[in-house]
Chains A and B, each alone.
Chain A
C-alpha cells in the first residue's frame, strides 16, 4: 500500500525511531499504512478496534490500538516485537513494588437514567426513544472520545477519555456497539497486506492506494479491486501477501496474485460489554444484538493472534478431552489475549460447534475490554483505611512505634518493650484497648440470644458481673472471644477482639434476626475508647483519680475516673490486676493524661502490643487468629473449661458432641525452652519429623527463658521436642502466677 500525496502532510509521528508523515484525520495505524508499513508487522487489519493487529507502544504505553489513536505531532510509536510481548518499561527504581506511581489520572463522575454506548443508527434510535420516554440519556461513543472500557455493578459504566476516567452511574445501559468483521483463519493469515472490507473502505477514503487489490466475500464499497469467488485456502507471500489461493465448488484451487487481499467474511456482534455485565440491566440493540452465522470451522492457521494459538493447538486440547468452549479457551489460551476473543471468538465457537455438534454461546467477558494502564485502573481508588484511636497522637508523642493490627493503628512499643513489661509486672501501666469490639444488647430476649450464642451459661451472670466467653460457629470452631458484662436483667455489654469485632457484630445481629428474637443491638466500638490500667499498683492509681472503691475481679460498674464517666471492667489479660476504662472517645486524651500524670511517681509507663503479647503469653491466654486456627475447637485449644456441655443448646454444640468421641491429632500446647524465644511460626520437631509449629513465643524477662504456645499435629504427642535446633519441653500454661492470685489481688 502506498500513498498518492495530494497535499502537504499535517505533521509527523515517530515510528520505531523514524519520522513518518501523516495527513489530517489520520489515525496512527493509517499513517503507518500510508507510509507502506504495517502497524504490527503482519496480520489482518480491521481498523475497527476489534483485533490486536495494530497495537503498539504509544508514548510509552503498550497495547494501544493505533487504529483508534489519532496521529498528533511528535507522537512516539514503537511497534510491538514481531514475536513475543513488549517488555516492561525500565524504571529507575528496580523494586517495582516500591516504584511510586507518578501518572495521576483524574476521575469524574456523572449519572443518567439511560446510558447508550455507541452512536450509530441503533444507538441514536435507542437514545431518542429513551428521551421521548422522559429519561435522562447519555450517549457514549469512542469516536467522540468516550471509550467505554467496562461495566461494573450498579451499573457503573467506566469510560476512558483523553482528560481522564469518567464513571457514569446509570439505571440502565444500552449497548449499541455494532458488529465486528470476521478475520480469516488459514495459513498465511499473519502476512502483511490483508485488510477487512471496512478497513479497505477507510484506507481508500484516506487516499491510500491499495495497489493490486482482490476481494473475497463481501466486497468493499467504492474500492477499486478485483472480486474473486470461492473459499480462502491460504495466503501466499513472504512477509507481504502476494497471492490468494481459493477453492470453489469444483474443489480446484485457484491462485490469484495481489498486493492487497480484502476480506469480507461476515460479522460477529460486538457484545463484549454485555457479556461482562451478567445480572445487570444491560441490553443489546442493533447489530450488537444480532445472531450472525458462524464462519466455517477453521482447519489451519493462526486462530488467536493475541496468544498465538494455532488451529492445531485447538485440536490438541480437544484430543485431550477439553470439550466445552470455556475449557478449550482455558486449555489453549485462545481468547485470553488482549482482544478478548474479538478475532478468535467466532472461529473458536465454530471449532467447538463442528466438533461437538452444538453451537456454544460466546464466553463471559471480563473488564476491561481494552488495555488500560494501571494508573487508569486504579484512578481514584484507595487503600484500606486503618482506624486511629483517639490516643493516636498521644502514642506518637510518647515515642510509640505504631503498626497496623486488626484494622487499627496500634502502638507496638514505645521504644523498649521490656521496660513496659516491668511496668506492668511491678508497677502500673496503661494500654490503649480502644480497638476492642463493644456491643450493647438489650431486650426481653437478650438472655435467650446470648445463651444460644455462647457456650457458657449466661443467665446466672448477675448484674454487675462479667464472664470470659468463647464465640463458636456452627462447626464448633472458635471465631472470637471476649467478655459478657451484665448491666441489668435485660441489658448486656459484649466485648470482642479488635480484629474480630466487625464479624462478631454481624454474627450477633444475623443470629438475632434469624431466630426472631426481640433485642436491640448497638455497636459502640468506634464511639467508645478504652484504656487498660494494669499492674499491682493499678488500684492505687485509680484511687488517686477518684475511683475510691475499684471493682473486684470480674465485676464492672459505671463510675467517674478523673472526672470522666467510665464503664469500669475488672478483668485481666496481662496476669496482673487490670481495669478497663471504657469511655466516650472525645474524653480519651483527657483521661489518658490524667492517669499518666497521677501515676508519675508510681513508675507508670504505657505498654504496647509487643509487651502485651508477652505478658498474656506468660499467662497462657490465647489470641484468636494468632494462636487459634480456622478449625480450632475448644478441645484443640485445651479450653474445654470454657464450654458448658450440659447447657441445653448453643451454637456449635451439635458439632462438639459429634466430634467429642473422635480421635483428634491436633492440640495447642505450652512449651518452655532455655534461651531466647524462637521466631513465631518455627517448626516443631520430634524424632527428625516436623510435628507442629510455634504460634506465639516470648522471651520472658521474669522467667529468664522462652515461653511459647504451639501446635502439635501428630499423636502420640511428644513431651520433648526440638525448636530452632534446641530442646524444648511441653509445659502446661500458665507459666506465671498459675493460681491467678495477682489478677485477683
Chain B
C-alpha cells in the first residue's frame, strides 16, 4: 500500500505576477495549482514575505492538507495504469486529474514523481493503489 504522508508547506493565493516574481528556497517543491495559487512544499510563511509586500491582500497560510509520496519508475508506471488522462511527457510537469477515481495531482520530474491528494482522500487513494508501492 502507498504510504501517503502529510506534506507541510505554505499555500499562497496572490496575483499571478506576484507569484511569478517569487523565488523559493532550493529545498522546496513548488506546485502551481492555478495561476493565482501555489503550494510550496517545505516553505514557511516567512518565505512568502516578498509576495506579501507585492500583494497586500495575498492569502498566505500554512498548508498541511495534502498527503503524498514520491514514486519511482515502476511505481509510477503502475499508478499510470489507473490514470485515464494524458500524462505530460515533458519534465518537469504538473498535472491534475483523477487517479483511480480520486482527485489527485502529479508533479513529474526527470527521475521521479510526487503523487499527492487532499488528505480526506488519502485512505481511498492508498487503498485503490494497493500494489503500486
Contact = CB atoms under 8 A, between A and B. Distances in A.
A387 B121 contact: yes
Nearest to B120: A387
Contacts of A528: 65
A65 interface: no
A381 B64 contact: no
Contacts of B61: 440, 522, 524, 527
A415 interface: no
B1 to A, nearest CB: 15
Interface string B55-93: 101110111111000000000000011111110000000
A522 B13 contact: yes
Nearest to A108: B81
A21 interface: no
Interface stretch (A142-150, A388-396, A459-467, A689-697): A388-396
B118 A443 contact: no
B65 A440 contact: no
A533 B63 CA distance: 24
Max chain A Cβ within 10 angstroms of own Cβ: one of B61, B80, B103: B61
A584 interface: yes
B65 A527 contact: yes
Given A522-B11, A522-B13, A585-B64, A111 B86 contact: yes
Interface string B1-21: 000001010010110000000
A444 interface: yes
A444 B57 contact: yes
B45 interface: no
Contacts of B86: 111, 154, 169
A586 B119 contact: yes
A383 B101 contact: yes
A156 interface: yes
B100 interface: yes
B114 interface: no
A522 B37 contact: yes
A585 B57 contact: no
B123 interface: yes
A520 B14 contact: yes
Interface string A88-111: 000000000000000000011101
Task: Kindly state the interface size class of chain B when it binds its partner.
Answer: 35 or more
A528 B11 CA distance: 13
B11 A443 contact: no
A524 B65 contact: yes
Nearest to A169: B86
A653 interface: no
Contacts, number: 96
A597 interface: no
B101 A442 contact: no
A408 B120 contact: yes
Given A383-B101, A385-B121, A584-B64, A527 B83 contact: no
A619 interface: no
Contacts of B100: 382
A491 B57 contact: yes
Nearest to A444: B57
Nearest to B80: A109
Contact of A522 (B55, B59, B124): B59
Max chain A Cβ within 10 angstroms of own Cβ: one of B8, B57, B84, B86: B57
B133 interface: no
A610 interface: no
Interface in B33-64: 36-37, 55, 57-59, 61-64
A540 interface: no
A527 B64 contact: yes
Nearest to A491: B57
A490 interface: yes
Given A111-B86, A381-B101, A440-B59, A389 B120 contact: yes
A585 B65 contact: yes
Interface in A156-213: 156, 167, 169
Contacts of B58: 442, 520
B102 interface: yes
A521 interface: yes
B6 A586 contact: yes
Nearest to A526: B118
Interface string A438-459: 0010111010000000000000
A519 B58 CA distance: 9
A560 B122 CA distance: 27
B52 to A, nearest CB: 11
Contact of A526 (B6, B57, B65, B102): B65
A618 B11 CA distance: 40
B124 A385 contact: yes
Contacts of A491: 57, 59
A154 B14 CA distance: 32
Nearest to B83: A109
A1 to B, nearest CB: 46
Given A108-B81, A387-B121, A526-B118, A520 B13 contact: yes
A380 interface: yes
Nearest to A107: B81
Contacts of B101: 381-385
A408 B118 CA distance: 13
A386 B36 CA distance: 28
A390 B128 CA distance: 19
Contacts of B80: 109
Contacts of A108: 81
A443 B15 CA distance: 10
A578 B11 CA distance: 29
Interface string B115-133: 0001111111000100000
Interface in A361-381: 380-381
A490 B59 CA distance: 11
Interface in A328-386: 380-386
Contacts of A382: 100-102, 128
The 3 closest A-B pairs by CB, nearest first: A527-B65, A382-B101, A387-B120
Given A389-B120, A521-B13, A522-B59, 17 more contacts: A107-B81, A109-B83, A109-B84, A154-B86, A167-B84, A382-B101, A385-B102, A385-B121, A385-B124, A387-B118, A440-B59, A444-B57, A446-B57, A518-B57, A527-B64, A527-B65, A586-B64
13 contacts: A154-B85, A154-B86, A167-B84, A380-B82, A382-B102, A385-B124, A388-B122, A443-B57, A446-B57, A491-B57, A520-B36, A522-B13, A587-B64
